Every structure is written in structure tokens, then in C-alpha cells.
Chains A and B, each alone.
Chain A
Amino acid sequence: GENVEQHPSTLSVQEGDSAVIKCTYSDSASNYFPWYKQELGKRPQLIIDIRSNVGEKKDQRIAVTLNKTAKHFSLHITETQPEDSAVYFCAASTPPSNTGKLIFGQGTTLQVKP
């Protein structure tokens, strides 16, 4: 079955710096890769997603890149702000692709220091 590995487990950056979180997946049939942000005591919320027919997607300060050949995808946050501090989860769909099932990474705790 699909397996998703996420690195690093913790990341500390200075406000204004960039942050990058990487995930690898095992099943080449996976075709949907969302990223969720979970603030302390809150629910996971989708921040950006990408499908396998696209290599990169941006939304203001966040972007996601996908390398299907290498089976990895990354979240990039530029000009980080203290409110970006949270746990970030990557996920990958599992075949058959129409089940809706996602496999989540273990999460990355991002700390943005003011």
C-alpha cells in the first residue's frame, strides 16, 4: 500500500525566512497531494493541493512542487510569519483513485520565531 514519509519532523525559522517541508510517497499511481495545516487544538485545514498533471502550484506565500519521477513533493512557505507556526501534514491519494482515501505523513511542527 501507499506510504508517505515527511521531513523534517520539526522546523524552526526566523520570521521572514523561507520554510520547506518535503514528502515522499511510494505508489506511482497516487495522483492527488494535499497539504493541511493544523494549529494547536484545532482541526487540520487544507492550505494547498496539487494533482499529478501539474508540476507546481502557488497561492500567495505558499507553493507546492511535485516531482512524479522521484515521487516526492514539497511545501514552500516564503516570508514566514508567526501565524504560520503550526503542524503541517502532507498526504497522498491511494489507488484506486476514486476511493477518496488519503495517506498522511507524520507531520512537521513549524515554529516561526519573531
Chain B
Amino acid sequence: DAGVIQSPRHEVTEMGQEVTLRCKPISGHNSLFWYRQTMMRGLELLIYFNNNVPIDDSGMPEDRFSAKMPNASFSTLKIQPSEPRDSAVYFCASSPKLAGGTDTQYFGPGTRLTVL
């Protein structure tokens, strides 16, 4: 199994530009999570999906952030317009979510985003 795949691994962009981060979860996993990690705030959950449906987006910082999961094997996190304070490492994670219980989350390698 290839694990969770994220692209790009690094992204440098200028303030005001649109940024799209991509994630392919582990095949067969039912849940997908987007996290943001910074030194100041640690690991923050932005949004998560169960069976492609967004369940909780209360962690999305503002309307500039949006996420989609059009099918079980692909998700995107979009920032438009981007700002320097969005600079962080963005992780995607997936989980098999066994029926009736919480299960292990497997993290992708992350996308390091720098907004100049």
C-alpha cells in the first residue's frame, strides 16, 4: 500500500494567489482529515469527511478555505486568496473508521506551504 499521498510536497506562492492542495487517502478508508501544523498552534483539525461527506468544518479558519471530496480516492483543500499567515504544513490523514469505534489515522507526508 502506498499510504496517504499528498501533492505538492512544497508550495511557494505570493499573497493573493489561489492554492490547491491534493490528497489521495489509503484505499478502502472511510474517513479523511485535513490538518494544519504551525509552531504556534500545533496540530489543528480543519475539516473531516466520512464517506466523502463533510462532517465537521468548524476548524476551517475562514471563508478563504474550502475543501472537497468528490470521490473516495481524492480530496482537495483550496485557499483563495492566500495570505502569509496561511504558511504552514498541511497534513491529510485517512482512517478505516471501524463501525462503532474510532480508529487509527494515517498521515500523509504533508505539504509545506509558504505564502510570500
Interface residue ranges, A against B (CB under 8 Å): 31-32, 34, 36, 42-46, 49, 51, 89, 93, 97-104, 106-107
Collect the chain B residues with CB atoms within 8 Å of residue A31's CB: 101-102
Interface contacts (Cβ under 8 Å), in number, total: 65
> Do the beta carbons of B42 and A106 come within 8 Å of each other?
yes
14 examples of A-B residue contacts, CB within 8 angstroms: A31-B101, A32-B101, A42-B109, A43-B91, A45-B107, A46-B104, A46-B105, A49-B104, A98-B101, A99-B102, A100-B33, A100-B103, A101-B45, A103-B45
Contacts of B7 in A (CB 8 A): none
Distance of A44 Cα from B30 Cα, bound (Å):
20
B-side contacts of A104, CB under 8 Å: 42-43, 45
Q: B99–A100 contact, CB under 8 A?
A: no
Interface residues of B (CB under 8 A from A): 30-31, 33, 42-43, 45, 48, 50, 55-56, 91, 95, 97, 99-110
**A98 contacts which chain B residues (CB < 8 A)?**
97, 99-102
Contact partners of B91 in chain A: CB under 8 A: 43-44
- Checking A36, A97, A100 against B31 with a beta-carbon cut-off of 8 angstroms, the contacting residue is A100
Asked whether A34 and B104 contact (CB < 8 A) given A98-B99, A99-B50, A100-B48, the answer is yes
The answer to whether residues A97 and B45 also contact, given A44-B91, A102-B105 and a CB cut-off of 8 A, is no
Residue contact A93 to B104, C-beta cutoff 8 Å: no
CB pair A43 B55 closer than 8 Å: no
Q: What chain B residues lie within 8 Å of A34 (beta carbons)?
A: 104-105
Q: State whether A97 touches B102 (Cβ < 8 A).
A: yes
* 20 more A-B residue pairs beyond the given contacts A100-B31, A102-B105, with a C-beta to C-beta distance below 8 A: A42-B109, A43-B107, A44-B91, A46-B104, A93-B102, A97-B100, A97-B102, A98-B97, A98-B100, A98-B101, A99-B48, A100-B30, A100-B48, A100-B97, A100-B105, A101-B56, A102-B45, A103-B45, A104-B43, A106-B42
Residues in B with CB closer than 8 Å to A49 are 104
Minimum-distance CB pairs A-B, first 7? A93-B102, A100-B31, A43-B107, A32-B102, A100-B97, A104-B43, A106-B42
